[in-house]
Chains A and B, each alone.
Chain A
């Protein structure tokens, strides 16, 4: 299975990445994808995602290996931003190409639940002139627990 896992330090175009992914997998019966963006929220000016080199990308690779073991896929793409982002900017793109749609949908859903609760990423947002650290959300852990991970 072709795997494309990247931690990106600069802005990216999910549409372009998805187009290339589709082109790379003409054999697939379908492709499911999800794009996560910085939610335009109240007075948030900037979101900063912080990663740790020795854990974050290796953790994303482990997630991809886990997904490959659970679903029949032709291809899997996980692109995640780190660094500073403005509201509306894309943070994450996950795409799965598969022979059958159920595998593609579930693989993407699983990847997002995992990324939202288990990935080695820390977040803070700037409201007004002050930075605020974002605490983990219970809902994200409950979403991940659906899969017993």
Chain B
């Protein structure tokens, strides 16, 4: 078990994968360290939102994820 990080939309293109597993526990700084520079840059973009287990964080910096948690990196929605 670890933390699952899901890349959505164009972030999955940037990451070259749909998801990856990173050792828990994971903070926002730890996540940025674990990602490739380009993906970390896109994650930092203020329009990119972050959800933990389906709850969107109002402040990404408060991210804390443990064993089995799922983090999603969400680029701006393009709408239906």
Interface of B is mostly: loop
B34 CB, min distance to chain A CBs, angstroms? 20
B64 CB, min distance to chain A CBs, angstroms? 18
**Count of interface residues, chain A, beta-carbon cutoff 8 Å:** 26
Please measure, in the bound complex, the distance between the C-alpha atom of A54 and the C-alpha atom of B52, giving whole angstroms.
10
- CB pair B56–A55 under 8 Å, yes or no, is yes
CB of A105 within 8 Å of the partner chain? no
Q: With A55-B51, A58-B54, A133-B10 as known contacts, state yes or no: A119 contacts B79, CB within 8 Å.
A: yes
Q: Which residues of B contact A122 (CB under 8 A)?
A: 8-10, 75, 77-78
- CB pair B77–A135 under 8 Å, yes or no, is no
Q: Which residues of A contact B78 (CB under 8 A)?
A: 121-123, 133-136
- Show the binding face of B for A, using Cβ within 8 Å: 6, 8-10, 13, 51, 53-54, 56, 70, 72, 74-80
- Show the binding face of A for B, using Cβ within 8 Å: 36, 49-50, 52, 54-55, 58, 80, 91-92, 115-124, 133-137, 140
